[in-house]
Structures are given as structure tokens and as C-alpha cells.
Amino acid sequence: MTLSELTHSTGEWLRGVGSYSDVVISSRIRLARNLASMPFLSTATVEERTNIYQTLAKAIGEVSNGSNALLIDIENAEAIDRHLLVERHLISRQHAVAEGSRGVSISPTETLALMINEEDHLRIQALRSGLQLEDAWSEVNEVDDKIGKNLTYAFDQQFGFLTVCPTNVGTGIRVSVMVHLPALKLTKEIERVDRAARDMRLAVRGMYGEGTEAVGDLYQISNQTTLGRHEEEIIDDFSGKIIPRIAEYELTARDSLAKHRGAQVDDKIWRAYGALANARCISSEETLNLLSAIRMGIHMGRLDLIDIPKLNEIFLFTQPAHMQKRHGAPLTGEERAVKRADYIRKQMVA
């Protein structure tokens, strides 16, 4: 597998299946781990950092033996490739722009990504479309066990797994679910979600995680702390209570819009379609916002000229790094805007 091949598929997490797939885009679980034998990255020397990278790359190679996983040396990767991985949610923004020895190993279906030397020595992430946290958890857990057999993690009897950031200490688990809440945004009830999330000590973030704004009505809901709770407890909370409740809020808001503001909501949905099908230059952000309205329209049964897999293709392939990678050469923002519009138009009529 090569990086370029990635630009022709949408990856597992955008397949549009899984529970509550009309609201939940994707589920993600990641574990934070550090090697007991090495200092945290915050204090490690350049040499130690390289050493950690090599140790973990080797260990990952052993456990993923024969699976055709792709190990990418992020330190020496081109900027465009690093951004491509961010757009595909395979590495964090921080990992893309940081310095020093670091990397990521990606499984062929992109369900699994192992970041080396991000904030912690190792971050094991599993991605799924829709609400499939149990599935993601079993993949992450299995990989964690395998690596843990060959290497010794920094672990404390009282606190659990030790991590750079105190919020990750304990199980080191972060559960993140990306939800699409256009109706709650339209009805201005999105604050209810925000408040409810705060009450439950959850973080609500934009599409690309920490410090990013919500565009396209996409929100990442994740746990803030891990200390003192079992992984399964946290996951059950998300799967059984938190996400279903948010999804029900959203679905109720959609029903209410359909019932009381049908013309306005159709207007929003169809104008978004009209803009995407006719624009001659368009930014990535506007594209995400218009796709949001269309996604809602499809799930509300009010627009059927395009389906979810096609929409997800447009969603992913129109982002800056994907645009340039598929084009095969760097593009200015203006060139991208024109090429993006051309690409979208072709998709809309196809």
C-alpha cells in the first residue's frame, strides 16, 4: 500500500454504516501508552526520541506482520502527505506539524492507526463509521495486548498507565464520536448538547479535534478524563447513553423542522445542492457547510439526487491536501477553489 492509493478511497470511517449512521459519522478509540524504559517526550533527548521511534516501529512491524500495514516516517514526509493524513483522521494536527522523529503505522483499511511519538510514545487508534465503539475497542485492545507482550509500558499500580497529560492517566483511553448536528444548529438547540456534555464531563470539539472550530455542523464528542473508570464503563456510557441521547435530540429537531418549517428546511437543503452543482469556485469550508445541509436532506428523505457514499467522497476528496495529492502538483488556494468546484460539479451530475 502507498499513500497515493489512499486518495482514491474514502476509508472505513466514511462508509456511512453503523448504528445511528444518520447522525453519527464515525467512532474512534485511542489508547495512550509510554515505554517504561524511556523518558516522556517532554524531557527526552533527540537520541532518545529516535530510539523510541525505532523501538516502537519494530514492535509494530512484528505485531502487524503480514497485514500489509504502511509505516510512514512523518518527520521526513512531505507536508502534503502529512496534511493528507490529518484530513483522513489518521494522525492529529499536532503530529503533522511537530518536529523530530515520529511516525504512524496505518492498516490497509485505515481502521487502525498507530502514532509514534505524538504526545505520548504510542497512541493506538481504531476508527469505525457510525456508532461502533465496541468494534473499535476490541481492535485497539487486541493491538495493545500484543505490543504490551513484547514491550513494557509505563504503568503504576495506583494510577494505571502513565501519560504526559494528566487527563490521559489511568486507562489512557479517549473515546471520540463524530456527530452531525445540523438540525440542532438550525434550531439553535446546539447549546443544550454543549451544556449536557459539560455536565457529563465530556469535551465537544470541531472535526479535527482539539482547538478546531466546528465546520459543517460536525462535532466530536469525547471523554475528558480516564482515571478511576474502566474502559468498558466509558464505552458503554457512550454507546448506551450519551450518543443515543444526542442522536435522539438531533432526530427530534429534524422531525420538528420537517413538521413546522418544511419550506425553509427544503430551501436550505436544495439551495446547498444548487450551489454545489453550479459553483465555479468554492472553498473547502463552504463545501463542508453545503454538504452538511445535503447530508441532512438525504437523511430526512427530502433530497435523493445524491447518496451518502458519493457525498462522503466529495466530503473527503475536496479537502486541500486531497485536492493537491489527486492533482499531482501543488495548487494555490484559488486554483484549488476552481478545481474543487469542477470536481464537485462532475460528481453531482454523475
Classify residue 68 as exposed, middle or buried by CB count within 10 Å of its CB (0-12, 13-18, 19+).
exposed
Q: What is the DSSP track for 36-104? A: TTS--TTT--HHHHHHHHHHHHHHHHHHTTTS--EEEEGGGS-HHHHHHHHHTTSS-HHHHH--SS-EE
Residue 116's nearest CA partner among 139, 142, 95 is: 95
- What cell does 277 get? 452543482
Nearer to its own copies among residue 304 and residue 334 (C-beta)? 334
Handedness of CA 233, 194, 284, 301 (dihedral sign): positive
Nearer to its own copies among residue 30 and residue 336 (C-beta)? 336
How near is the Cβ of 273 to its own copies at its closest, in Å? Answer: 6
Nearer to its own copies among residue 65 and residue 263 (C-beta)? 263
Q: Could you tell me if 323 and 13 are in contact, meaning their C-beta atoms sit under 8 angstroms apart?
A: no
Nearer to its own copies among residue 2 and residue 263 (C-beta)? 263
How near is the Cβ of 297 to its own copies at its closest, in Å? Answer: 11
CA–CA gap between residue 234 and residue 281 (Å, rounded): 44
How near is the Cβ of 333 to its own copies at its closest, in Å? Answer: 12
How near is the Cβ of 274 to its own copies at its closest, in Å? Answer: 3
Q: Could you tell me if 277 and 294 are in contact, meaning their C-beta atoms sit under 8 angstroms apart?
A: no
**Phi, psi (deg, nearest 5) at residue 83:** -70, -35
Residue 311's nearest CA partner among 327, 326, 291 is: 291
Nearer to its own copies among residue 6 and residue 282 (C-beta)? 282
Classify residue 7 as exposed, middle or buried by CB count within 10 Å of its CB (0-12, 13-18, 19+).
buried
How near is the Cβ of 342 to its own copies at its closest, in Å? Answer: 10
How near is the Cβ of 263 to its own copies at its closest, in Å? Answer: 5
> If residue 13 lies in a helix (H) or strand (E), which one and from where to where?
none
How near is the Cβ of 272 to its own copies at its closest, in Å? Answer: 8
How near is the Cβ of 331 to its own copies at its closest, in Å? Answer: 13
Nearer to its own copies among residue 93 and residue 261 (C-beta)? 261
Strand partners, 26: 129, 178
Q: Tell me the CA end-to-end span of the chain in Å, nearest whole number.
A: 28
Q: What is the DSSP track for 126-192? A: EEEESB-HHHHHHHHHHHHHHHHHHS-B-EETTTEE--SSGGGTBT-EEEEEEEE-HHHHHTT-HHH
- What cell does 246 get? 444526542
Nearer to its own copies among residue 8 and residue 271 (C-beta)? 271
Using CB under 8 A, list all residues that contact its own copies. Answer: 263-264, 266-267, 270-271, 273-282, 334, 337-338, 341
Give, as one character, the DSSP assignment of residue 114.
E
Nearer to its own copies among residue 142 and residue 266 (C-beta)? 266
How near is the Cβ of 312 to its own copies at its closest, in Å? Answer: 22
Nearer to its own copies among residue 146 and residue 327 (C-beta)? 327
